[in-house]
Amino acid sequence: MKRSAGFSLIEALIVIAIGITMAAIAIPQALNAMKNYRLQAATAGVSGAIQAARFQAIMHGCAYQLAISSSALTYQTYSEVPSSGSTCLTSFNATTSAIPIVRQGDATIDHDVTMTFKSNGTMAVASGSLPITISNGISSKSLNVSGVGYVTVTP
């Protein structure tokens, strides 16, 4: 009797079992990697917004504020730059709408903070406190800003 070429049912089941086992290991790893990428992106976004607000204050010669909202997971920039003339305003006006830092559920920010950048590049905390901690449930990053606007990120 001649055997036909192909795989037996047992061989096919073993290959399928190995594939399912590998997928069960790989999927959680991939999900954790995506969470970490989102955390890094959120951290880079906030750090960039801080540096941009400081740069704008220096460039325009008027104070800028950066307000970070932990509940909405957004930041917004305000300035004392007048629409015309050269004298800075005495109150802050929004220069941008609220910009999302990260999608709801992808990360959390521990508290609200508002930083004021003066035209000489120095920074003072107007409300809240530093450092700012951004967390994704697996790991977290803390952003601290020095009095001269230097941003440090610690894992």
Looking at residue 2, its pLDDT comes to: 66
* Per-residue pLDDT at 103: 87
pLDDT at 75: 96
The pLDDT value given to residue 106:
86
The pLDDT, as a whole number, for residue 86 is 75
Per residue in 48-57, pLDDT (tens digit) is: 999 999 999 9
pLDDT at 1: 63
Low-confidence ranges of the chain (pLDDT < 70): 1-3
pLDDT score recorded for residue 6: 79
Domains of the chain: 9-154 (3.55.40.10)
Amino acid making up residue 47:
S
